[in-house]
Amino acid sequence: GADTQLLRQRIKALLKERDAALVAHYYTDPELQSLAEETGGCVSDSLEMARFGSLHAASTLVVCGVKFMGETAKILNPEKTVLMPTLEATCSLDIGCPDDEFTAFCDAHPDRTVVVYANTSAAVKARADWVVTSSCAQEIVSYLDSRGEKILWAPDRHLGQYIQSATGADMLLWDGSCIVHEEFKAQALDDLKALYPDAAVLVHPESPAAVVELADVVGSTSRLIQAATELPNQRFIVATDSGIFYKMKQSAPNKIFIEAPTAGRGATCRSCAQCPWMGMNGLENLLAVLERGHQEIEVDPGVRKRALVPLGRMLDFTR
Ligand code: CIZ
Ligand code: SF4
């Protein structure tokens, strides 16, 4: 409505005034994704969010997503101001992998190469040899495996299991999970597939193995959006956060997208898969940070220096 238009105009003006670029994840509110697009910012997965921040000339990055994304932006761009609409938006994978326990786990397995998912704190990244996202995890693990390296993987065990079975690498897994993807249910998905036999099933590998097994395409958010445009199917069943539908519908406007069913709500569930932390980003708190310049991300300089090494390896590997 009119209020939303006013908010958007004010945000656009302040982005210019502050020399700020908006970087939004695919799982955030479509209002934020479209604002990022309209203002020359970026809408993408965590790998491309990280890369964009480093390539863009803006002196301030406003990261709409969860905390690890803001931290990654700051680690890669210490000279830039990194703001987030909220500093409270965490991730169950980050929460489930505290740095002291993680360090002890690594210390107990000194023979293993430490590979961590981007969905971790700066302190956990600082203990890692490699950082990966779901877009590049399999390639990087294959590469390490080909060099005969044994891997310690954290924190998402579903993604870890998926990569282990795809690559055959020797992987010791941390026991973490994503509260959003963990809720997808194989039986209900199978029932839905029977209702729509023409549909292609797209699954993010943070989902349980039984759900992954039913997929036509398994991949990162970017990969799933690409599959939605490239596959000939007219209909898709999608097992990832529903924020992704904004970009899928934009990329393939004539296709039909159906949410994969989550726990307890059966095959007709709509908008069940929504990350509560991604959902904490909105137009109001975005405007507030641009007005006040608060909610700034800080990373301890020592941690930052160490975390930059495995993050830099990922960006170099995927260049
Ligand atoms: O589940 C997440 O938080 C994802 C998919 C992050 C990413 O790699 O973009
Ligand atoms: Fe973390 Fe899952 Fe939310 Fe992504 S969707 S930020 S992995 S809790």
**Residue 237 is assigned to a structural domain of this protein:** yes
Mutate to test the pocket of ligand 2, among 86, 135, 278 (most ligand atoms within 8 A of CB): 278
Per the structure, the complete domain to which residue 198 belongs is given by: 181-259
Q: Atom 2 of ligand 1 has which residue's CA nearest to it?
A: 119
ω into 253 cis (within 30 of 0)? no
Question: For residue 275, with 0-12 CB atoms within 10 Å meaning exposed, 13-18 middle and 19 or more buried, which class applies?
Answer: buried
Q: Answer for the pair 62, 286: CB distance below 8 angstroms, yes or no.
A: yes
- Residues 6 or more apart in contact with residue 226 via CB below 8 angstroms: none
User: What is this structure's pTM?
Assistant: 0.96
Residue after which a domain boundary falls, among 177, 208, 229: 177
Confidence of residue 1 (pLDDT cuts 50, 70, 90): confident
- Residues 6 or more apart in contact with residue 78 via CB below 8 angstroms: 299, 301, 304
**Residue 106 is assigned to a structural domain of this protein:** yes
Confidence of residue 265 (pLDDT cuts 50, 70, 90): low
Query: Which DSSP string corresponds to 231-255?
Result: SS-SEEEEES-GGGHHHHHHHSTTS
User: What would the pLDDT profile of 116-171 be if each residue is shown by its tens digit?
Assistant: 999 999 999 999 999 999 999 999 999 999 999 999 999 999 999 999 999 999 99
Query: Does residue 290 share a domain with residue 252?
Result: no
**Residue 304 is assigned to a structural domain of this protein:** no
Helix or strand holding residue 288 (H, E): helix 283-292
Query: Does residue 219 share a domain with residue 284?
Result: no
281 has binding-site annotation: no
Query: Does residue 284 share a domain with residue 228?
Result: no
The pLDDT score that the predictor gives to residue 96 is: 98
Instruction: Write the CATH number for 231.
Output: 3.40.50.10800
Q: For residue 20, report the distance from its CA to the centre of ligand 2, in Å.
A: 25
Query: Does residue 83 share a domain with residue 98?
Result: no
Query: Does residue 80 share a domain with residue 110?
Result: no
Q: Is the CB of 207 under 6 A from ligand 2?
A: no
Q: What is the mean pLDDT of the chain?
A: 96
Query: Does residue 79 share a domain with residue 152?
Result: no
Residue after which a domain boundary falls, among 133, 155, 177: 177
Q: Is the CB of 92 under 6 A from ligand 1?
A: no
Query: Domains in the chain: how many in total?
Result: 3
Q: Atom 7 of ligand 2 has which residue's CA nearest to it?
A: 178
Q: Is the CB of 117 under 6 A from ligand 2?
A: no
